[in-house]
Amino acid sequence: MALIASRLHLVWIGTVCGKLKTDYRYSNTLGWNTFPVPTLTEKNKADLTACAEDILLAREAHFPATIADLYDPEKMPENLRAAHDRNDEVLERIYIGRRFKNDTERLEKLFDMYTKMTTSPSARGKLAKS
């Protein structure tokens, strides 16, 4: 969940899946299956799990607010915003050791990883079998 809830994943989805009007289109084949993820250590997994739990707990603290209520940019609860910011920071440090400067830098890194992921000998073998 920490990956899907991140700015990094949102930028990827917006680029590879596109939008219909202002809504993101989500495709597991185009979006999730192609999303480059570095090898995660046990500590990375534990940190990301804690971030996901913090996001869920922040949402729960505002029950019965809807997702639309919670994610209204002008009304987003501060604890939920902080949980998402922390999630982004943890994930981006896993990817490059620091926060990304902007979405362009995020996409450059993701497409670099995607290129390596799809041109490695093991990836070519998996693609040939599908």
pLDDT in tens, 65-121: 999 999 999 999 999 999 999 999 999 999 999 999 999 999 999 999 999 999 977
Q: What is the rounded distance in angstroms from the CA atom of residue 130 to the CA atom of residue 122?
A: 13
> What is the predicted pLDDT for the residue at 125?
52
Q: Are 17 and 30 in contact (CB under 8 A)?
A: yes
What would the mean pLDDT of 24-49 be, rounded to a whole number? 92
What's the token pair of residue 97? 């050791």
Residue-averaged pLDDT of the chain: 92
Alpha-helix runs per DSSP H in 1-130: 7-16, 42-60, 67-70, 78-96, 103-119, 121-129
Q: Tell me the whole-structure pTM to 2 decimals.
A: 0.87
> What is the predicted pLDDT for the residue at 130?
44
**Across-strand partners of 19?**
24
In the chain, the amino acid numbered 36 is P
